[in-house]
Amino acid sequence: MSLMRLLFLFGQQCQEGGGIGCRRDGANSVIAGAFCEGFHVQCMIRVSSCISCVFAVLAGSLGWAHKTGKEGVAEIGIPEARYTPMARVIEQSLPAVASLQVVQAQDAPGVFTMGVGSASVIHEEGYLLTNDHVLFRMHQGQAFLSGRPPLPFRVIARMSSEDLAVIKVEAGEALKSLPIGRSDDLLLGEPVIIIGNPGGLAHSVSTGIVSGLNRSTAVGGSFLPRMVQTSAAVSGGNSGGPLINALGEQIGVVTSKKLDGENINFAITVDRVREMFPTLLSAELRYGFDLGVEVDMFSPWGKVSEVEEGSPAARAGVEPDDVIVQLNGKGIRNGIDFHLALIDRKPGDRLQMHLEREGEKVPVEVELGELSMLEPVAEEGLKNGLRYEGFEGKWGALPDFATLEAVEKGEVELPTEEAYMTEDGENYGLRFRGFIKVPKEGLYTFYTTSDDGSRLKIGDQVVVNNDGLHSVLKRGGLVRLKEGAHPVEVTFFEQGGGEELEVSWEGPGLPIQTVPAEAWFYRE
């Protein structure tokens, strides 16, 4: 009998347990992170014994055997039989899981609250993966790792639309990291482990099974697709912690749970993390350098999938299908390692790459170029507001409004869903055109919050793509802009149900907020 079949059969026998509940959001799921309140015990978890059986099967199938030594379990009086493969995976994983404390600023000046969450170490140099909602209103934060004093952390990147964030601690030495697994072959009934900080109880462990695949949930206004469902207990403070398989690999990021059921808990799949990681970090945009390389996020090592023509990488001789095995002396195990190696780089830096090409080792040196910013336009004749066009039609995605005839035209102060509406508020679209004036040169993040689809372009660049049929959903994108007025286009459509459109931004010295009316212009 195959290993996977054994896992399935034993997994079927596991009993699902309960957990600890916290407040409900509008989508009938709850965030399992820093904002839970009114904790109450629902029921006791009852999966550990069964999971032990599954891991015992794994021990035989994989040839795992614990060897006692000078500091082995026999040395401290623990019977060998108790040191199960499950216990071994947990022991090996604990040093790579951090408990987070986040000081959260409130609306009143000088008022702060304390939130808790979890994170996993994804790179030995101190990079940790967590949920974006764990960092809500963060003023400062610290991470607690096994056997270490509390370590302050800084935020490297946040992506609210995917509820993902990367933070960094300075430990002074290499940290233990969790191996990154795959989630495209998860089996129903497969045993899993969650390690986290529920209710501030650092390094708590729960076990369960994969109880559902390809689930969709909403957390904090963000729609999260392709989630994995698990029966492993989740409580407030587990958010951002790892979902771990029987091989000790991270296969997900714990995010939320439902309250109208028993132990219905969700994690972002690690394959989704891989897919979104280049956008999450956006290293070139954040640090203003030009490299011109894309890597395959699902291949081993750092396999080059594309090299931009005329880019610094192309000039240095990097070719598609090259495999980046080392960058500035650091091993590259996967696409995540590659993107992390680009953090804090700047134009003029030299990257020493060791490539493998058709079995040959190829060393190259790439000098990073400077990423250009979008140039502003002349401001003569600009007037506050935007021009809009209203359309009628039933679409499942944004149409090409340039090919359609508008039923109404005019000017508005802000791009909203109310600029033009049909009588029943269904089956209509809007296109807003004009200019947006940024107060300072630098990196900006723009967001559209919409129901249904929306898109924001600055110049010829799509900055936010929030297209499709969906409930209220917030998505963002980065762009580097010079001070001044830039051509902008916002498009939106509504098919049925509720409708909403809002555009917000954040940038140099500018906290996240709705783009004010005084920033929008059109030319008379």
Mean pLDDT for the stretch of residues 346-358: 95
In this structure, the answer to whether residues 498 and 424 fall within a common structural domain is: yes
In this structure, the answer to whether residues 415 and 387 fall within a common structural domain is: yes
Q: Reduced to 3 states, what is the DSSP secondary structure of residue 350?
A: strand
How many angstroms separate the CA atoms of 497 and 284, rounded? 39
Examine the residue annotation and report whether 299 is marked as an active-site residue of this protein.
no
Mean pLDDT for the stretch of residues 470-475: 86
In this structure, the answer to whether residues 390 and 491 fall within a common structural domain is: yes
pLDDT of residue 442: 92
In this structure, the answer to whether residues 421 and 487 fall within a common structural domain is: yes
Predicted confidence (pLDDT) per residue in 77-125, tens digit: 677 778 888 899 999 999 999 999 998 888 778 788 888 999 999 999 9
Examine the residue annotation and report whether 486 is marked as an active-site residue of this protein.
no
Q: Is the pLDDT of residue 376 over 50?
A: yes
What is the percentage of the chain residues whose pLDDT exceeds 70?
A: 85
Does residue 390 belong to any structural domain of this protein?
Answer: yes
pLDDT of residue 76: 60
In this structure, the answer to whether residues 350 and 402 fall within a common structural domain is: no
In this structure, the answer to whether residues 323 and 365 fall within a common structural domain is: yes
What lies within 8 Å, CB to CB, of 7 at 6+ separation is: 54, 57, 58, 187, 189, 190, 191, 246
CATH number at residue 484: 2.60.120.1560
Does residue 68 belong to any structural domain of this protein?
Answer: no
Mean pLDDT for the stretch of residues 251-262: 85
Which of 182, 218, 256 shows the shortest CA–CA distance to 449? 218
**How many distinct structural domains can be found in the chain?**
2
Burial class (CB in 10 A: 0-12, 13-18, 19+), 150: middle
Predicted confidence (pLDDT) per residue in 147-170, tens digit: 889 999 999 999 888 899 999 999
Please give the structure tokens belonging to residue 320.
């598609």
Q: Which of 29, 93, 123, 133 is catalytic?
A: 133
Q: Which of 93, 118, 163, 486 is catalytic?
A: 163
Q: Which residues pair with 278 in a beta bridge?
A: none
In this structure, the answer to whether residues 424 and 336 fall within a common structural domain is: no
Q: Is the pLDDT of residue 210 over 60?
A: yes
How many angstroms separate the CA atoms of 500 and 247, rounded? 45
Q: Last residue of a domain, which of 314, 343, 370? A: 370
Please say whether the beta carbons of 285 and 279 come within 8 A. Answer: no
pLDDT of residue 10: 34
In this structure, the answer to whether residues 301 and 401 fall within a common structural domain is: no
Please say whether the beta carbons of 413 and 384 come within 8 A. Answer: yes
Q: Is the pLDDT of residue 506 over 80?
A: yes
Please give the structure tokens belonging to residue 436.
């947006």
Within 320-472, strands assigned E span 323-327, 330-331, 350-357, 360-367, 369-370, 382-384, 386-392, 408-412, 428-438, 442-451, 454-458, 461-466
Does residue 234 belong to any structural domain of this protein?
Answer: no
Which of 181, 92, 170 shows the shortest CA–CA distance to 128? 170
Confidence of residue 453 (pLDDT cuts 50, 70, 90): very high
How many angstroms separate the CA atoms of 250 and 191, rounded? 13
Q: Which of 93, 211, 239, 256 is catalytic?
A: 239
Q: Last residue of a domain, which of 326, 341, 370? A: 370
In this structure, the answer to whether residues 474 and 421 fall within a common structural domain is: yes
Please say whether the beta carbons of 125 and 174 come within 8 A. Answer: yes
Does residue 499 belong to any structural domain of this protein?
Answer: yes
Does residue 392 belong to any structural domain of this protein?
Answer: yes
In this structure, the answer to whether residues 434 and 514 fall within a common structural domain is: yes
Please give the structure tokens belonging to residue 134.
């764990």
In this structure, the answer to whether residues 398 and 515 fall within a common structural domain is: yes
Which domain covers residue 346, as residue numbers?
282-370
Confidence of residue 430 (pLDDT cuts 50, 70, 90): very high
Q: Reduced to 3 states, what is the DSSP secondary structure of residue 250?
A: strand
CATH number at residue 287: 2.30.42.10
Does residue 435 belong to any structural domain of this protein?
Answer: yes
Does residue 259 belong to any structural domain of this protein?
Answer: no
Q: Scan for tokens 């309140």, then name that residue.
A: 37
In this structure, the answer to whether residues 392 and 323 fall within a common structural domain is: no
Which of 416, 503, 421, 412 shows the shortest CA–CA distance to 464? 503
How many angstroms separate the CA atoms of 196 and 143, rounded? 12
Examine the residue annotation and report whether 163 is marked as an active-site residue of this protein.
yes
Does residue 71 belong to any structural domain of this protein?
Answer: no
| Alpha-carbon distances, residue 169 vs 151, 155, 172, 359, 434 (angstroms) | 6, 9, 9, 37, 43
Q: Last residue of a domain, which of 341, 370, 399? A: 370
